[in-house]
Amino acid sequence: MTVLVLGGAGYVGSHAVDILLSRGYEVAVVDNLVTGHREAVPAGVRFYEVDVRDKDALSKVFEQEKNIEGLMHFCAYSLVGESMEKPAMYFDNNVGGCISILEVMQEFDVKHIVFSSTAATFGIPESSPISEKTPQKPINPYGESKLIMEQMMKWQSEATDMTYVALRYFNVAGAKGDGSIGEAHKNETHLIPIILQTALGKRDFITIYGDDYKTADGTCVRDYIDMEDLIDAHIKALEYLKAGGKSDQFNLGSSKGYSNLEVLETARKVTGKEIPSKMGERRPGDPDELVADSTKAGEILGWHVQNGLEHIIENAWKWHSSHPDGY
Ligand code: UFG
């Protein structure tokens, strides 16, 4: 039986492929290589360069991969700022891709899908930490596109015998422990990679976006989840569905928040570098604090966070310092 990893050449997907293989799963990968990297997928893995919106091409993959036990779906655009500038592109790629995937799953009678959703579906939450009961009110097209995808999955699972798990990631960071795969975006916007690029001297300084938030030190607070922990949740979710578990949604974070200044200090400690920084203006659309309540994932999936912020930054540093220009 095969796990078909959609978006398996991307940052999260490539780590899923790696950990699935290390746990003895058979894996095949679909990726259009728009943001993914062919080098991130091991040479022996069956690889299809296909855009999931291309239903005919995706059907051909399902024809060839006869024994698909489930899908992991990671292919989506995922930058909040970009989504504010190009909403239609986000809905076309994220929602359009999901339509095609659900249709092909139904056609080929594939029963299970684990899919990446996001804390961005919650918008600016009324309370913290954020549980599955917190109302979802996205404030940008990226979050809205993922919420629509969740709803499409819900209706599809009610209408057919397909089951799904939506995993709402908080701030994913980290890399494989040997530094061989990691985060490589063309225009990096995320805090930890930018801090580490500064540590490498690729940037002169990091700008911290605002220190007048309603938090202890005035900088935004986020909940960082380690890549290995994140993929472990996907595998537990797939096994849960295979064992007959019902469709569900889970918030995935460490349930502990770190301010941007705390992340910077931790990176200084881990790298031993000075990492020059400047305080800047707020970035539009940043909520003060986003921290997950992941109790439900613990209760139902048996998932518990193993790794903390230092471990996350240590592994990310191994990747960035050995691949300063990405793949
Ligand atoms: N930040 C800086 N300087 C930078 C980059 C980021 O101060 O150069 C700050 C941001 O303002 C924010 C924090 O670091 O306060 C984290 O920002 P990221 O861009 O790393 O991550 P976000 O919290 O904005 O977004 C992440 C994912 C999104 C997802 C969201 C859900 O990247 O895909 O979490 O909460 F939607």
Q: Is 252 in the pocket of ligand 1 (CB under 6 A)?
A: no
Residue 142 annotated to the active site: yes
User: Do 147 and 31 share a domain, yes or no?
Assistant: yes
Q: Is 80 in the pocket of ligand 1 (CB under 6 A)?
A: yes
Residue with the smallest CA separation from ligand 1 atom 30 is: 120
Q: Is 207 in the pocket of ligand 1 (CB under 6 A)?
A: yes
What percent of the chain shows pLDDT beyond 70?
Answer: 100
Which of 12, 78, 80 to probe ligand 1 with, by most ligand atoms within 8 A of CB? Answer: 80
User: Do 109 and 200 share a domain, yes or no?
Assistant: no
Nearest-atom number in ligand 1 for the CA of 78 is: 33
Ligand 1 centroid–CA 208 distance in Å is 11
Q: What are the structure tokens assigned to 315, written together?
A: 């592994």
Say which of 48, 90, 142, 224 is annotated catalytic. 142
Mean pLDDT across 6-17? 98
Residue with the smallest CA separation from ligand 1 atom 24 is: 286
Cα 2 to chain centroid distance, Å, stands at 21
Predicted local confidence at residue 81, as pLDDT: 87
Mean pLDDT of the chain: 97
Strand partners, 167: 116, 250
What percent of the chain shows pLDDT beyond 90?
Answer: 96
Tens-digit pLDDT profile for residues 251-292: 999 999 999 999 999 999 999 999 999 999 999 878 899 999
Distance CA 104, CA 98 (A): 10
User: Do 131 and 214 share a domain, yes or no?
Assistant: no
Predicted local confidence at residue 185, as pLDDT: 86
Span between the terminal Cα atoms of the chain, in Å = 30
Tens-digit pLDDT profile for residues 52-98: 999 999 999 999 999 999 999 999 999 988 999 999 999 999 999 99
User: Do 90 and 234 share a domain, yes or no?
Assistant: yes
Predicted local confidence at residue 103, as pLDDT: 98
Predicted local confidence at residue 284, as pLDDT: 83
CATH value at residue 237: 3.40.50.720
User: Do 121 and 261 share a domain, yes or no?
Assistant: no
Q: Is 277 in the pocket of ligand 1 (CB under 6 A)?
A: no
213 lies in which domain range? 191-223+255-291+306-322
Identify which of 263, 241, 242 has the alpha carbon closest to the alpha carbon of residue 250.
241
Tens-digit pLDDT profile for residues 19-37: 999 999 999 999 999 999 9
Predicted local confidence at residue 187, as pLDDT: 86
User: Do 47 and 73 share a domain, yes or no?
Assistant: yes
Ligand 1 centroid–CA 43 distance in Å is 33
Q: Which long-range contacts (CB under 8 A, 24 or more apart) does 128-136 make?
A: 128/257, 128/289, 128/290, 128/291, 129/223, 129/253, 129/255, 129/291, 129/292, 129/293, 130/251, 130/290, 130/291, 130/292, 130/293, 131/251, 131/293, 131/295, 131/296, 132/249, 132/250, 132/251, 132/296
Query: What is the count of structural domains for the chain?
Result: 2
Answering whether pTM is above 0.95, one says yes
Residue with the smallest CA separation from ligand 1 atom 7 is: 208
Ligand 1 centroid–CA 191 distance in Å is 6
Nearest-atom number in ligand 1 for the CA of 260 is: 14
Nearest-atom number in ligand 1 for the CA of 280 is: 7
pLDDT band at residue 170 under the 50/70/90 scheme = very high
Mean pLDDT across 192-202? 97
User: Do 7 and 111 share a domain, yes or no?
Assistant: yes
Residue with the smallest CA separation from ligand 1 atom 5 is: 191
User: Do 120 and 78 share a domain, yes or no?
Assistant: yes
